[in-house]
Structure formats: structure tokens, C-alpha cells
């Protein structure tokens, strides 16, 4: 059996393979299905063809050496798992026009080499550029979740500087569309929510006209030890919202009930939400407003 060279994360330029392998060997690898064609120029190892590094590498090879990962794909490479992995997004110079191979989206636009860094041998736009673009262009909930994940990677002391740089990158964009909404989303981003679902929930609450809650508010005992952290808290009326993600709360029903009982004894009204409330927040928002009214607050 022919041994495949490693290539770029399992992706290869056909011409590079042709210079390494005999022509009959290359043809046999394709005929046997060990190599799969992305387009005429790029082949990928079938064993890794669905992995992000292989697909990202294939897109870069197809688009040429000046291209870079952008959008969701670049966000994923930077560790923002809230981004969509389904389509590989590549940014190429305007001079590089090509059809989109299946599963790939080639964007043409302007960028400087200062906008690019190399992560694990893959050229990608910098995280500040990626977040700026997503806040202007992408699904709002996903963009906020990625911004929160980007901020969460940083020491809290440096988060304000990161946000300031993102704001500068937004103003530098040649396309001014999305600037207003991006400012709103960037203001909401803190790096504090513990999951993408919590970031999306925060956006839902604010979109429905509720006051911005405090995320991950600590509840301490008389000794100052943190007992709990509330997903969202409105401090003045002492109303708390806990988001029950499936994985985080599987098998925890009993513990959650005891926690809620203790919080009620401390004067908190606790409301619970799940993924259904993310899809349709009507019931949840009504419950929160009712809780406010019970404490003589109006919102």
C-alpha cells in the first residue's frame, strides 16, 4: 500500500503529490478512494476529510497562498466553538476569483498581512478582525457568543483593550453596514457567560426589553465564601434566572431543587429556563416581568 505524505493536515495539492508519487500510484490512491478530490487542484485524505483542520487546509490550498481563513472557520481555529463548522470560509484577494467547491465559501475582500497570523500552519485572520466582522455580518446570537468566548480566553484585565481594538477594527471596515448593531453587541459582550447558550439567552432577554442582568453573579455565605453563581441576576429586585443546559444539568434535578430552596431563603426569586425558552422566550419573559412586579419593580 502506498504511504501518503502528511500534506497540510491531510490536504494536498495534486501537483505536489504528482511530484512525490509516481503517476500510477497517485491514480491508484484516487481510484481506491484513499484520496478525495475537493476540486481539480486539491485532494484530501478520506480518513480526515470531515475534520476542521483538513477542510480548512483544503480551502486554503484551493484559494491560493494569499488566502486566509475568515468568519466562522477562523473563529473556530481561534477556539470559539460557538461558530458554525458546516461551511469553510476563506477570504481571498479580489484578484483571485474562483467557484466555491462544495462545502466551501470563498469570499473576496481586502486585507493586509498584518490581519493574518498562522495557527497550526493555517493562515487565519486575527481574532480581533474576525470578531469585528462577525459582529457586523453574522447571526447576532452566534456573533455575541463568539465575542464572549474570545473575551473569555483573556485575563479580565485585558478584555477592555480587546474590545477597544475590535471597535477600531469595526470602524476601519470598508463596508459600513452593521456598525450600529455591532456596537450594541460589543457592549453586551463580557466574556463572563459560561456557554454559547447563555450568551444567546442574554441577547434574547435584552431584545425583549428587559434590563441587562448581571452574569454569573456570586452568592456568598457569611464568611465571604462563594456558594453559588447565578447565571443571570437582577440585583435590586433579587430576581435570578438559571439556564438549564442539558449536559450541565443532567442528573442534577435534586441538587438544583436544594439550591433553589436555599436561594429563596436568602430572598431570591429563582426562574429556570431551558432550550425551549431560547426558541420562544414569551413564557420566560412574562415570568420575569411577573417576578419584577411581585417585588414592586416595573420593567
Report how far apart, in Å, the C-alpha atoms of 3 and of each of 7, 35, 209 are: 12, 12, 61
HEC per residue, 104-147: EEEEECCCCHHHEEEECCEEEECHHHHHHHHHHHCCHHHHHHHH
Domains and CATH numbers, the chain: 11-50 (no CATH), 54-188 (no CATH), 196-294 (3.40.960.10)
Tens-digit pLDDT profile for residues 244-269: 975 555 556 678 889 999 999 999 99
Q: What is the dihedral of CA 140, 51, 130, 216, to 10 degrees?
A: 60
Model-level pTM?
A: 0.91
The answer to whether 26 and 17 are in contact (CB under 8 A) is yes
pLDDT digits (tens), the chain, 299 positions:
567 888 999 999 999 999 988 888 899 999 999 999 999 999 999 999 999 999 999 999 999 999 999 999 999 999 999 999 999 999 999 988 888 999 999 999 989 999 999 999 999 999 999 999 999 987 999 999 999 999 999 999 999 999 999 999 999 998 888 999 999 999 999 999 999 999 999 999 999 999 999 999 999 988 889 999 999 999 999 999 999 975 555 556 678 889 999 999 999 999 999 999 999 999 999 999 999 999 999 88
Other beta carbons within 10 Å of 47: 11
Amino acid at each position: 500500500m502506498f504511504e501518503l505524505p502528511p500534506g497540510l493536515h491531510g490536504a494536498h495539492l495534486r501537483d505536489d503529490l504528482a511530484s512525490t508519487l509516481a503517476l500510477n500510484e497517485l491514480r491508484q490512491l484516487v481510484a481506491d478512494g484513499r484520496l478525495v478530490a475537493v476540486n481539480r487542484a486539491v485532494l484530501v485524505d478520506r480518513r480526515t476529510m470531515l475534520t476542521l483542520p483538513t477542510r480548512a487546509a483544503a480551502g486554503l490550498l484551493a484559494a491560493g497562498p494569499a488566502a486566509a481563513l475568515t468568519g466562522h472557520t477562523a473563529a473556530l481555529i481561534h477556539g470559539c466553538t460557538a461558530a458554525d463548522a458546516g461551511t469553510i470560509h476563506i477570504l481571498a484577494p479580489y484578484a483571485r476569483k474562483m467557484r466555491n467547491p462544495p462545502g466551501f465559501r470563498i469570499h473576496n475582500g481586502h486585507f493586509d498581512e498584518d490581519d493574518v497570523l498562522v495557527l497550526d500552519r493555517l493562515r487565519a485572520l486575527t481574532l480581533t478582525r474576525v470578531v469585528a466582522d462577525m459582529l457586523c455580518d453574522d447571526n447576532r446570537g452566534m456573533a455575541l457568543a463568539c465575542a464572549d468566548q474570545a473575551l473569555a480566553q483573556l485575563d479580565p484585565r485585558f478584555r477592555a483593550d480587546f474590545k477597544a481594538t475590535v471597535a477600531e477594527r469595526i470602524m476601519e471596515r470598508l463596508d459600513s453596514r452593521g456598525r450600529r448593531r455591532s456596537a450594541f453587541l460589543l457592549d453586551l459582550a463580557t466574556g463572563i457567560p459560561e456557554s454559547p447558550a447563555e450568551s444567546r439567552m442574554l441577547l434574547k432577554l435584552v431584545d425583549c426589553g428587559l434590563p441587562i442582568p448581571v452574569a454569573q453573579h456570586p452568592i456568598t455565605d457569611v464568611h465571604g465564601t462563594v456558594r453559588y453563581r447565578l447565571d443571570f441576576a437582577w440585583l435590586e429586585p433579587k430576581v435570578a434566572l438559571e439556564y438549564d443546559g442539558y449536559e450541565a444539568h443532567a442528573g442534577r434535578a435534586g441538587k438544583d431543587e436544594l439550591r433553589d430552596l436555599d436561594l429563596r431563603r436568602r430572598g431570591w426569586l429563582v426562574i429556570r429556563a431551558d432550550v425551549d425558552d431560547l426558541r420562544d422566550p414569551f413564557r420566560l419573559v412574562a415570568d420575569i416581568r411577573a417576578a419584577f412586579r411581585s417585588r414592586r419593580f416595573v420593567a
